[in-house]
Amino acid sequence: MPKVVFLPHEELCPDGAVLEAKEGDTILDVALRNRIDIEHACEKSCACTTCHVVVREGFDSLEESDELEDDMLDKAWGLEPDSRLGCQAVVADEDLVVEIPKYTLNMVSEQH
């Protein structure tokens, strides 16, 4: 069973976490199931960038992002070559090491 290692994040997971995942889970689902409350303003519909993560290890085991995800990622704060939307990145058969960026852009809450 693959593992998803979340690197420490000051607010969401200060000590980091090593979590069991099932093939077919998204990175976001693994996090949420384990009380790592990554924001997901669009309810996992690939319509925002609030669940942006950087896959530090295991990136090549993920299916390639599609055009819609790439368009969304272009709007993400701190975009890196190994960035993915947590709601779209599906765990395969390899372990992943994931970093949650310090900041996120929530277009819904920032319009108020």
Q: Which domains does the chain have, with CATH numbers?
A: 3-90 (3.10.20.30)
Picking from 42, 54, 43, 51, the residue whose alpha carbon sits closest to that of residue 6 is 54
HSE, CB side, 13 Å, CA atoms: give it for residue 57: 10
Amino acid 106: pLDDT: 63
Residue 30: pLDDT over 60: yes
What tens digit of pLDDT does each residue of 56-78 get?
999 999 999 999 999 999 999 89
Amino acid 104: pLDDT: 76
Q: What pLDDT band is residue 109 in, cutting at 50, 70 and 90?
A: very low
Q: Could you tell me the pTM of the whole model?
A: 0.92
What tens digit of pLDDT does each residue of 82-97 get?
999 999 999 999 999 9
Helices (H) and strands (E) in the chain, counts: 3, 5
Picking from 7, 8, 48, 45, the residue whose alpha carbon sits closest to that of residue 26 is 45
Residue 107: pLDDT over 70: no
